[in-house]
Chain A
Amino acid sequence: MTVRAFKRKAVTAMAAVTVVGGLLAGCSSSTADNDAEKTGDGSQNKVIGASEGPSAAPSTLATGMGADTDTDGTFPRTVTHFEGKTTIKAKPTKIAVLSTGQLDDLLSLGTVPTATTRADNAGLVPDYLADAFPADKSKLDAMTDAGTRQAPNLETLAAAKPDLILANDSLGDLYPKLSKIAPTVITAGNGINWKRDLLLVGDAIGKGQQAQKLLDGIVEDAHEKGEALSKTSVSMLRFTPGRTRMFGVSSFTGSIAVDMGLDRPKSQQFKAISEDIGAESIDKADGDWIFYSVQGDADKTDAASVLAGPLWKSMSAVKSGHAVKVDDDPWYLNAGPTAARLVVLQLAEDISK
Chain B
Amino acid sequence: MNGMAKPREPDRMTRPGTGTGTGAFRPAGVTVLRPRPTISLLLHRRSAAVAVTLLLLLGVAMTAAACLGQTYIPPAEVWHTLRTGSGQYDLVVNELRVPRIVLGALVGVALGLAGALVQTVTRNPLASPDVIGVGHGAAAATVLALSFGFVNSPSAMPAVSVVGGLAAAALVYVLAWRHGMQPSRFVLTGVGIGVALSAVVQLYLADSELEAAEQVKLWLTGSLNGRGWEQAGPLAVVLLLSLPALVWAGRAVRPLGLDGDTAASLGVRVDRTRLALTVLGVVLAATATGAAGPIGFVALTAPQLARRLTRTPQLPLVCSALAGAVILVTADLAARTVLPPLEVPVGALTSLVGGPYLLWLLGRNRVGG
Contacts and interface: CB of A to CB of B under 8 A. Distances in A.
Partners in one complex: yes
B52 interface: no
Nearest to A172: B153
A151 to B, nearest CB: 4
A100 B226 contact: no
B215 A150 contact: yes
Nearest to A29: B148
A146 B341 contact: yes
Interface stretch (B89-97, B313-321, B355-363): B89-97
Contacts of B152: 39, 42-43
Interface string B199-231: 010011011111111111110000101101010
A40 B171 contact: no
Interface stretch (A130-138, A174-182, A219-227, A304-312): A174-182
A41 B69 contact: no
Contact of B210 (A155, A159, A240): A240
A14 interface: no
Contacts of A20: 196
Interface string A137-148: 000000011111
A120 B209 CA distance: 14
Interface string B36-74: 000000000000000000000000000000000111000
A174 B226 contact: yes
B323 interface: no
Interface string B177-217: 00000000000000000001000100110111111111111
Contact of B149 (A39, A176, A180): A39
B149 A153 contact: no
B70 A159 contact: yes
A1 interface: no
A44 B200 CA distance: 22
B211 A154 contact: no
A171 B240 CA distance: 31
B230 A158 contact: no
Nearest to B189: A16
A179 to B, nearest CB: 10
Interface residues of B, number: 48
Interface in A168-216: 170, 172-174, 176-177, 180-181, 189-190
A154 B209 contact: no
B153 A41 contact: no
A15 B172 CA distance: 12
B146 interface: yes
Task: Bin the interface of chain A by size.
Answer: 35 or more
B5 interface: no
Interface string B150-193: 01111100000000000000010001000000000000000000
A15 B153 contact: no
Interface string A237-274: 00010110000000000000000000000000000011
B218 A150 contact: yes
B144 interface: yes
Contact of B70 (A31, A152, A153): A153
A41 B212 contact: yes
Given A159-B70, A181-B91, A173 B153 contact: yes
Contacts of B341: 144-147, 153, 156
Contacts of B336: 153, 155
Contacts of B69: 155
A232 interface: no
A12 interface: yes
Contact of B153 (A34, A43, A159, A181): A43
A155 B149 contact: no
B241 to A, nearest CB: 26
A45 interface: yes
Contacts of B206: 242-243
B342 A40 contact: no
Nearest to B70: A155
B238 to A, nearest CB: 21
Contact of B343 (A19, A151, A158): A151
B345 interface: yes
B29 interface: no
Nearest to B343: A151
A27 B203 contact: yes
A42 B91 contact: no
B207 A34 contact: yes
Contacts of A181: 91, 95
B340 interface: yes
A177 B228 contact: yes
Given A151-B225, A153-B70, A158-B91, A40 B149 contact: yes
B14 interface: no
Nearest to B151: A42
Contact of B155 (A19, A31, A173): A173
B85 to A, nearest CB: 13
B92 to A, nearest CB: 6
Given A41-B208, A240-B210, A242-B206, 12 more contacts: A30-B204, A37-B149, A42-B151, A44-B212, A45-B211, A146-B341, A148-B343, A153-B343, A155-B97, A155-B336, A177-B95, A243-B206
14 contacts: A23-B200, A37-B149, A40-B146, A41-B216, A45-B211, A45-B212, A100-B211, A146-B341, A153-B342, A153-B343, A155-B69, A170-B211, A173-B153, A240-B210
Interface of A: 12, 15-16, 19-20, 23, 26-27, 30-31, 33-34, 37-45, 100, 120, 144-156, 158-159, 170, 172-174, 176-177, 180-181, 189-190, 240, 242-243, 273-274, 276
Nearest 10 CB-CB pairings of A with B: A41-B212, A39-B149, A155-B70, A151-B343, A156-B341, A43-B152, A153-B341, A174-B226, A41-B208, A147-B341
